[in-house]
Amino acid sequence: MGVVINKVVEGNLIDVSSLPDKVFAEKMLGDSIAYKPKNGLIYSPVDGEITMIFPTGHAVGIKMDDGIEVLIHVGINSVNLKGKGFITFVKDGDKVKKGDRLLGFDLKVLSDNNINDSVIVILTNGGVFKTDLLKRVTICHE
């Protein structure tokens, strides 16, 4: 049986390779997709446990029961804002369900600070699985 990873933000799917950060564009952290957000709310794409909230609120990690890890990262170089314009709705160790609110961010703050607002969803531990993880995972973007 496969795993479905729901859409994390309202917005349009964009080509990851077009992102202005080599780490994301070349998928160095793992297989990924990216969105141009229409609003500043991030929702859990899966059921799982929060394993990491970056102190500035721009990234969150979730581990599913089967071991698949998903990282959601908001913005390129958004860490430079030091948390300005970000809010978290969860903490490390929280259990979440698909559709639970995780993060909020202010698109205007990102724009005013010349921060690319792309939202990237990354399967960070695909290499530990013996089979091609993408054959088991369906990422919904509609």
Length of the chain: 142
Given the residues 50, 54, 62, 73, the one annotated as active site: 73
| Spatial separation of the C-alpha atoms in residues 21 and 76, rounded to whole Å | 7
Task: Say if CB 46 and CB 64 are below 8 A apart.
Answer: yes
H or E, element range at 86:
strand 86-88
73 as an active site residue: the answer is yes
| Spatial separation of the C-alpha atoms in residues 95 and 50, rounded to whole Å | 6
Helices (H), 5-142: 22-25, 107-112, 133-136
Instruction: Look at strands 86-88 and 101-105 and give their pairing.
Output: antiparallel
Catalytic residues: 73
